[in-house]
């Protein structure tokens, strides 16, 4: 199962100047369109004297992609689309790129604008780095304490994460695992506990 995607490692901020105009490039992590637009609103309020706030965002992965881009008053196709093309060209998702422009008095022309917005986007995306993320699922496992060490070794073998644990007569554990490994983890648990352990998938937001 495909469960990996790429996003930025860290949010970044850069600035370049082209013939007097300032182009401020910024990246923001955003897992939804609403989150991306919230970041954009913050930039617009902070840089309220700027001439343009051009942007593009891509959120989701696989078949659940959402995207939007805007020239924000620049000539059509000179800003938003070049920003978007660089995001998708780097195979990135769950981010917003905003390039804010303070006009410097000299018109750049269509080609000059495309180059300026593209250069600012490339620079800030490069500064942000890249990391691989995975779609995950959360499960609650309950097993007897005597099996705990064996189960912990299996969790580590699968690269899963222990989110929470509760120890009493039994051990209750909340585990987060890559989506593609979820079935294998559940099967291993059933085998380890001879079907006597409890397992249920839980909502990651709970």
Alpha helix ranges (H) inside 17-108: 33-46, 80-89
Q: Which of 50, 63, 109, 57 is nearest to 86 (CA)?
A: 57
Q: Which of 66, 47, 205 is nearest to 138 (CA)?
A: 205
pLDDT tens digits, one per residue of 65-95 = 999 999 999 999 999 999 999 999 999 999 9
pLDDT tens digits, one per residue of 128-184 = 999 999 889 999 999 999 999 999 999 999 999 999 999 988 999 999 999 999 999
By percentage, how much of the chain surpasses pLDDT 70? 98
pLDDT tens digits, one per residue of 3-39 = 889 999 999 999 999 999 999 999 999 999 999 999 9
Alpha helix ranges (H) inside 47-147: 80-89, 109-128
Burial class (CB within 10 angstroms; exposed 0-12, middle 13-18, buried 19+) of 142: middle
d(CA 205, CA 203) in angstroms, rounded, equals 5
Which residues contact residue 185 at a Cβ distance below 8 angstroms, ignoring those fewer than 6 apart? 139, 154, 155, 158, 160, 175, 177
- pLDDT value, residue 127: 97
DSSP 85: H
- pLDDT higher than 60, residue 1: no
Domain limits, the chain: 4-133, 136-202
Confidence of residue 206 (pLDDT cuts 50, 70, 90): low
- pLDDT value, residue 169: 85
- pLDDT value, residue 168: 87
Confidence of residue 205 (pLDDT cuts 50, 70, 90): low
Fold of 136-202: Alpha-Beta Plaits (3.30.70)
Tell me which H or E stretch contains 37. helix 33-46
Architecture of domain 4-133: 2-Layer Sandwich (3.30)
């Amino acid at each position: 199962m495909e469960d990996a995607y790429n996003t930025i490692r860290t949010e970044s901020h850069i600035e370049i100047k082209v013939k007097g105009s300032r182009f401020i490039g910024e990246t923001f992590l955003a897992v939804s369109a609403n989150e991306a637009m919230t970041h954009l609103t913050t930039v617009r309020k902070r840089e309220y004297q700027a001439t343009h706030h051009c942007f593009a965002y891509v959120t989701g992965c696989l078949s659940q992609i959402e995207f939007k881009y805007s020239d924000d008053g620049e000539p059509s196709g000179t800003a938003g689309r070049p920003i978007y093309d660089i995001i998708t060209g780097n195979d990135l998702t769950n981010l917003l790129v905003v390039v804010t422009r303070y006009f410097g008095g000299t018109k750049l022309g269509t080609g000059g604008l495309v180059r300026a917005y593209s250069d600012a986007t490339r620079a800030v995306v490069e500064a942000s780095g890249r990391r691989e993320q995975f779609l995950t699922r959360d499960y609650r496992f309950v097993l007897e304490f005597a099996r705990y060490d064996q189960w912990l070794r299996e969790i580590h073998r699968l690269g899963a994460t222990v989110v929470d644990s509760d120890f009493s007569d039994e051990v209750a554990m909340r585990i987060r695992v890559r989506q593609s490994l979820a079935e294998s983890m559940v099967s291993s648990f059933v085998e380890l506990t001879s079907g006597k352990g409890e397992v249920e998938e839980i909502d990651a937001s709970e």
